[in-house]
Chains A and B, each alone.
Chain A
Amino acid sequence: MRKSVIISVLAVFVMFSVSLVGCSSKEKLYVLNWGEYMNPDLVDKFEIENNVKVVYEEVGSNEEMEIKLKQGITDYDIMIPSEYMIDKLSQENLLLPINYSLLTNLENVEFFEDAKVLYEEEEFGQYLIPYFFGTVGIMYNTSNENIKTALESDNGGFCTLFDETNDFRVGLYDSPRDTIGAALMCLGYSVNSNNDTELGEAETLIETALAKSLGSIRFGQDDLKGDVAKGNLDLALVYSGDYFEMVFEYEAEETEIEFDYFAPDHTNIWIDAFVIPNTSKNTDLAHKFINFFLDVDNAAENADWVGYTPVISEVYNVMVNDYGYDYDHYYPQPEGSSREVFKYLGSEHAQKLNTILNAVRIS
């Protein structure tokens, strides 16, 4: 009997250990990115040029990215979070400083103002290389003219999302920073407000809208854009790039476009950037990867596939002049607008926002 117990224990362990054996001998680069946020052809090209294997993984939010990094299931070499998450991760000593001498393409490019400020003046600037940027705004369906009128009225903008007197079907982003940020901006406060009274007002605003609204409000993620385009929602909080993605999809399908994007004068501007987490086992290759996407030709090809606005002004010009990206709102910071960048204000603040969003959702 004892023999069979030993054999069975061994058998189970053999089964477990089979899975521990690696398979490929090629160098590997682990990349953690948002969905639909990098041209796979370029990744293939990078793999061939350097004879490596890129293991690419997608997530849906900054918070998910953070958890994935901290779970430590994979030792990532490259991540592309947004500015406030980079701030947070750098404060927690989870990032490696960028070694600029390895980025030979850096001297050939110039970043747009907002990205440049981030990278030259902020303390966490030494950990990042900007990738794409854009605004947060409202995508709306144009088949109902009242929506546009409401958005452009004095009391419109972000307030249209929370106006309980209209009967629009509204989509809010299932992310505390974005939805509460929109409520704060409607009230005329800063998106980085950490003032309890102001946050309380924002909470009441969302809560009243959810409770009393004549239309319906629901929470979603990147699926909101598709619903606005189809007409299942009248308006929704989206990132500018989401809107462009829908435009390109509809153009490719030769379907009539019945939606548009509205960026209020005062809105949030976000900047996503490459960072190298301290789990990276292959920092040289990670730098090569970043350098690859700093090459203007590669960056333009990538920007055409992704559809978001590139942070490199040379690439932007190529997009507008050669690729014909003369869309409204493509440049996120037109004259006269005020744009605010999210700041990381400590875990207590993040927790507070989380609690607010959870509370309004169950009320």
Chain B
Amino acid sequence: MKSLRRLIYPYIVWLTVLIIIPFLFIVLATISTFHIFNSYTFRFTFDSLRFLTDPIFLNAFKNSIKFAGITTLVCLTVGYPVAYFFANIKSKNKTLYVALLIVPIWSNMIVRIIAWENVFKPVSILNLFNLSFDMIGSDIAIIIAMVSMYLPFMIFPIYAVLDKMDHRYIEASRDLGANAFQSFYKVTLPLSLGGIVSGIIMTLLPAMTAFALPERIGGGTTILLGNLIEKEIFRGSFSTAATVSFVVMIVMLGLFMLIVRFDKEGETLL
């Protein structure tokens, strides 16, 4: 099949044009006056790096870590047992149950965010059931909405690994005298690590860079890195937006190294 190698050349060109070149542009915009809108001046400057010590950036960074961190933790704590449950039920409708978690993703994300926004306002459709919340702008509201958005993305990769796992390993460990906890801790958990890492990445990164969600649920007073990027590129300075994106990319690459260690070909990313 070696003769089919030729098929990847267009893909290499495609990825170079759409990933590597823009990545270099972002790096360039971070360390120089390079600008995509008016590219007539060019000199190296580290001015925009100074933004990294600006209280606005530090606050957004702190918020991103806080909200994405808590959300990921909740998703992992809830998602792992649920994935485990799904992987072990013996029903012919097993795939249907998992698929039912995909259905909400078909519903437009923005509309789901508005639905949460509605729920957290005192006058809302929930009044029909004599319920009323006033939680816009609170941390807990943002976390609830984020968990609701990203929980399925934690469950899928873990489920995928657990479902494929060979049950004979667990049986063997039990036969060798391990109790339920030991066999889980020594066998199941290490074998599902790849799925956990993918799940964390698929939850953490989108949560860190979300902008519509914190904007709507946060009442305009909670700013995350995503809000900063969106605001700067459309209503501020391009180089600042590039600098913040650069920071996000560093975080992304760090996590990416982790995934490459566990799962070289990204089989758990689906």
Task: Give A residues with C-beta under 8 Å from B.
Answer: 1, 4-5, 7-9, 11-12, 61, 63-64, 67, 70-72, 169, 172, 174, 210, 216-220, 227, 230-232, 358-359, 361-362
CB of B74 within 8 A of chain A? no
Name which of B38, B56, B219, B235 has the most chain A CB atoms within 10 A of its CB: B235
Q: Is the CB of B123 within 8 A of A219?
A: no
> What are 15 A-B interface contacts by the 8 Å CB criterion?
A4-B6, A4-B9, A5-B13, A12-B14, A64-B234, A70-B37, A70-B38, A72-B37, A216-B134, A217-B221, A219-B220, A227-B121, A230-B123, A232-B121, A361-B220
Contact B37 A63 (CB under 8 A): no
Q: Which residues from A are CB-within-8-Å of B123?
A: 230-232
Q: How far is the CA of A174 from the CA of B9 in the complex (A)?
A: 48
CB-based contact A359/B9 at 8 Å: no
> Is B148 part of the contact surface with A, judged by Cβ < 8 Å?
no
Q: Which residues of B contact A1 (CB under 8 A)?
A: 6, 9
Known contacts A8-B13, A71-B37; decide if A359 and B6 are in contact (CB<8 Å).
no
Residues in B neighbouring A64, C-beta threshold 8 A: 234-235
**Interface presence of B17 (CB below 8 A):** yes
Task: Report whether B55 and A359 are in contact in the complex, using a CB–CB cutoff of 8 Å.
Answer: yes
User: Does B32 lie at the interface of the complex (its beta carbon under 8 Å from any beta carbon of A)?
Assistant: no
The answer to the question of B173 belonging to the interface, with a C-beta cut-off of 8 Å to chain A, is no
Indicate if the CB atoms of A61 and B122 lie closer than 8 Å.
Answer: no
- B59 contacts partner chain A, Cβ-Cβ < 8 Å: yes
CB <8 Å contact, A67 and B234: yes
- C-alpha gap A11/B123 in the complex (Å): 55
A9 to B16, CA, bound (A): 11
- Residues of A close to B121: CB separation below 8 A: 227, 230, 232
Name the A residues within 8 Å of B236 (CB-CB).
67
Instruction: Check if A218 sits within 8 Å of B220, measured CB to CB.
Output: yes
A64 to chain B, nearest CB (A): 5
> Min CB distance, B164 to chain A, in Å?
35
Closest residue of chain B to A60 (Cβ to Cβ) is B235
- With the chains together, A172 CA to B234 CA distance in Å? 21
- Say how far B242's CB is from chain A's closest CB, in angstroms: 14
- Which of A12, A67, A362 contacts B56 (CB under 8 A)? A362
Known contacts A72-B37, A219-B221, A232-B121; A8/B235 CB under 8 A: no
Q: How large is the interface on B (under 10, 10 to 19, 20 to 34, 35 or more residues)?
A: 20 to 34
Known: A61-B235, A71-B37. Contact between A9 and B221, CB under 8 A? no
* List of A residues within 8 angstroms of B13 by Cβ: 5, 8-9, 12
Known: A1-B6, A12-B17, A358-B56. A67 touches B235 (CB 8 A): yes
- The residue on B at minimum CB distance from A359 is B55
Chain A CB within 8 A of B223 CB: yes
Contact: B136 with A218, CB < 8 Å? yes
Task: Give 1 or 0 for each of B43-59: 1 = CB within 8 Å of chain A CB.
Answer: 00000000000011001
- The answer to whether B254 has its CB under 8 Å from any CB of chain A is no
* Contacts beyond the supplied A67-B236, A70-B37, A362-B59: 12 A-B pairs with Cβ under 8 Å: A5-B13, A7-B10, A8-B10, A12-B10, A210-B221, A217-B221, A219-B221, A220-B219, A220-B220, A230-B123, A231-B122, A232-B123
Which residues of the other chain, B, contact A4 by a CB distance below 8 angstroms? 6, 9
Q: Do A218 and B137 touch (CB < 8 A)?
A: yes
Return the 7 tightest CB-CB contacts between A and B, nearest first.
A219-B220, A218-B219, A8-B10, A362-B59, A232-B121, A230-B123, A8-B9
Residue of chain A at shortest CB distance from B120: A232
Contact B223 A362 (CB under 8 A): yes
Cβ contact of B10, chosen from A11, A70, A169, A218, cutoff 8 A: A11
The smallest C-beta distance from B5 to any residue of chain A, in angstroms, reads 9
Residue of B nearest to A219 (CB): B220
Give every chain B residue within 8 A of A231 (Cβ-Cβ): 122-123
Residues of A within 8 A of B223 (CB): 361-362
Contact call A218/B221, Cβ cutoff below 8 A:
yes
The CA-CA distance from A4 to B9 in the complex, in Å, is 7
A217–B220 Cα distance when bound, in Å, is: 9
A64 to B221 Cα, complex, angstroms: 20
Contacts of A210 in B (CB 8 A): 221
